[in-house]
Amino acid sequence: MNTGSHMRVGLFVFDGAEELDVVGPYDVLSSWAQHSALRPEVVTFSADGAGVRCAKGLCLVPDRSADDVGPLHVLLYPGGQGTRALAADPEHLEWVRRMRATTPLLVSVCTGALVYAAAGLLAGRPATTHWAAFDELATFDPSVLADTEARFVDDGDVITSAGVSAGIDMALHLVARLESVDMARGVRRGIQYDPAPPV
Q: 67-96 pLDDT, tens per residue?
A: 999 999 999 999 999 999 999 999 999 999
Which element (helix H / strand E) includes 153? Answer: strand 152-154
- 3-state class of 161 per DSSP? strand
Residue 52 has pLDDT above 50, yes or no: yes
Report the C-alpha gap between 133 and 156 in whole angstroms.
Answer: 23
Looking at residue 64, its amino acid is R
Phi, psi of 36 (to 5 degrees): -90, 135
Q: How confident is the model at residue 5 (pLDDT cuts 50, 70, 90)?
A: low
* pTM for this predicted structure: 0.95
* Coil, strand or helix at 188: helix
The mean predicted confidence, pLDDT, of the chain is 95
Q: Which of 19, 3, 27, 16 is nearest to 171 (CA)?
A: 27
Band (195; pLDDT cuts 50, 70, 90): confident
Percent of the chain past pLDDT 90, that is, above it, reads: 94
Q: Output the CA–CA distances (angstroms, integers) from residue 43 to 49, 66, 113, 198, in the order listed.
A: 12, 11, 20, 35
pLDDT tens-place string over residues 125-176:
999 999 999 999 999 999 999 999 999 999 999 999 999 999 999 999 999 9
**pLDDT score at 44:** 98
Active site residues: 110
What pLDDT does 42 receive?
98
Closest CA to 162 of 9, 154, 72, 186: 154
Candidates 27, 36, 44, 18; CA nearest to 170 is 27
In this prediction, residue 199 has a pLDDT band, given cuts at 50, 70 and 90, of low
CB 156 within 8 A of CB 136: no
